[in-house]
Structure 1
Amino acid sequence: MPEHVEPVIRVQGAGIRFRRNRRARRNFKDLFASRKRRARSNEFWALRNIDFDVYPGEAIGVVGRNGQGKSTLLKLVAEVILADEGSVTVRAGVAPLIEITGGFVDDLTVRENVYLTAGLHGMSRSEITLQFDEIIAFAEIGDFIDTPYKHLSSGLKVRIAFAVISRLEEPIVLVDEVLAVGDKAFREKCYKRIEELLAGGRTLFFVSHNERDLSRFCSRGLYLDKGALVLDGPIDEVLARYNDDHGI
């Protein structure tokens, strides 16, 4: 990448620390007596010493087994969680499709949720109204516009969430496995929309266990294992290394 081009994402020495859930002690005496020891033994690093830059228009595939930090990395980029060490700098807006129920309210209708969720992501009411019919048409959910969101199937929730988030004008798009829930025909429709976004110069972070999808969209990969960045390179090399490490 030319030196004069600034990265849209810069991650430097980033780490995030979580605490495992443990059964509560029986009384306060036990709790305070073992407080420091439990605090140390109960913590683990979901990610640590993570370094990489992402430049405008890149399509990044994030690879790794379950529980290795992939979704946590996307949440750091989306600023849903903050790093405990190092830094994560994001110089552009983010359209996150990382938690399918995030921002949607069960008791509101689909129509109300479209306005609420798009509004939370910065769209004005007039902009939402202008694009509302296209959102509903894309989701193929017309018969359920005035149905409470909680009554939708998981597949329909995926449809409306993707339809809303993919209409945002944010330069960075985060996708975390959620499309695996949808049916094959709609999934292909979503993939074509992702290709349109990439053709328009968007930057993509794509978490998936599907190698065909990763190779289809991404030119570069990040391989995470046990919270560490094992390899950052061309997607084919990253997938080959991952398969070799796990005997696939």
Structure 2
Amino acid sequence: MAAPIIEADGLGIRFVRNRRRQLRLRELFIHRGGRGALPGQFWPLRDVSFTVEPGETVGVIGRNGTGKSTLLRLIAGVLIPDEGDIRVHGAVAPLLELSAGFSNDLTGRENLHLVGGLHGLSASYLKRHFDDIVEFAGEQVERAIDTSVRHYSSGMKVRLGFAIISHLPHPILLMDEVTAVGDAEFRKKCYATIDRLLGEGRTLVLVSHNEKDLTRFCRRGLYLDAGRLTLDGTIAEALDAYHAAVPR
């Protein structure tokens, strides 16, 4: 059996409500070890442990506010856990907030190179694949590629973001409701691209409320309830647990 590509061991992260509140120096000193109770604190995830093997397709299921998107951000390295460890053995293609990293002051062309570079793509790779990425994003983006992104619609930004991230050669795909965005033509293109990437043996961790997407792409399911991993089984078993908790 291959070594896991993702390992979570006792994973937990603590948030504090009303983040604008400035902590006094004394509070920072008292709580710097992480064991004291900060006012308004809560744990969106706690004591979560699992492994993912290379090539597995895993759906993360649960009600709103149960820590699904937080888990993806911990895997992506966007968030740092307060408890436990998360170990990711491979580069990550994060299909999360698809317009994240864009600068409104730059053109689509400049943002393509900026975001691609931030994800480790070389200038030569981006130059070689530039036309393919822009063509994937669609005619609207292609016509506006040298226009400031501040003038793009939200849909155009998502198309360009997906086009860039889907061209990453990284072995791990993280997706958060990506196919819920855009028109039918764009979703069809998304599905075909995801199918192709999974056919190449990529590992997928998907958060979605769309059961068709979950059953289409995923074989395994992680069911989260109140920030705890309460079931790790097949995607059908995880969906059954969700339906039992949320009566139709």
TM-score (norm 2): 0.91
For 1:190 and 1:126, the matched residues in 2 are separated by 25
2:178 aligned residue? 178
Contact 1:95 1:173 in 2 (8 A): yes
Contact 1:154 1:181 in 2 (8 A): no
Shift of 1:101: 2.5
Distance 1:11 1:22, change over 3 A: closer
2:189 aligned residue? 189
Report which stretch shifted further, 39-48 or 51-60.
39-48
For 1:101 and 1:158, the matched residues in 2 are separated by 6
For 1:24 and 1:202, the matched residues in 2 are separated by 42
Are 2:235 and 1:238 equivalent residues in the alignment?
A: no
Instruction: Provide, for residues 160-184 of structure 1, a one-character-per-residue CA deviation record: whole Å limited to 9, x for no partner.
Output: 0010001001000111113312111
Tell me the amino acid that sits aligned with residue 99 of structure 2: T
Contact 1:57 1:201 in 2 (8 A): yes
Instruction: Provide, for residues 203-230 of structure 1, a one-character-per-residue CA deviation record: whole Å limited to 9, x for no partner.
Output: 0111110000100000011111211112
1:53 aligned residue? 51
Instruction: Provide, for residues 106-153 of structure 1, a one-character-per-residue CA deviation record: whole Å limited to 9, x for no partner.
Output: 111110000010011111111001000000111102111112112111
Q: Which runs of 5+ in 2 are unaligned?
A: none
For 2:243 and 2:155, the matched residues in 1 are separated by 30
Shift of 1:240: 1.2
For 1:148 and 1:216, the matched residues in 2 are separated by 37
For 1:224 and 1:165, the matched residues in 2 are separated by 27
For 1:107 and 1:39, the matched residues in 2 are separated by 42
For 2:99 and 2:158, the matched residues in 1 are separated by 9
Are 2:8 and 1:11 equivalent residues in the alignment?
A: yes
From 134, 137, 140, give the equivalent of 1:139: 137
2:78 is paired with a residue whose SS is: coil
Contact 2:63 2:242 in 1 (8 A): no
For 1:108 and 1:178, the matched residues in 2 are separated by 24
Contact 1:158 1:179 in 2 (8 A): no
Identical amino acids, percent of aligned pairs = 53
Counterparts of 1:66-215 in structure 2 under 5 Å?
66-140=64-138, 141-215=141-215
For 1:97 and 1:17, the matched residues in 2 are separated by 24
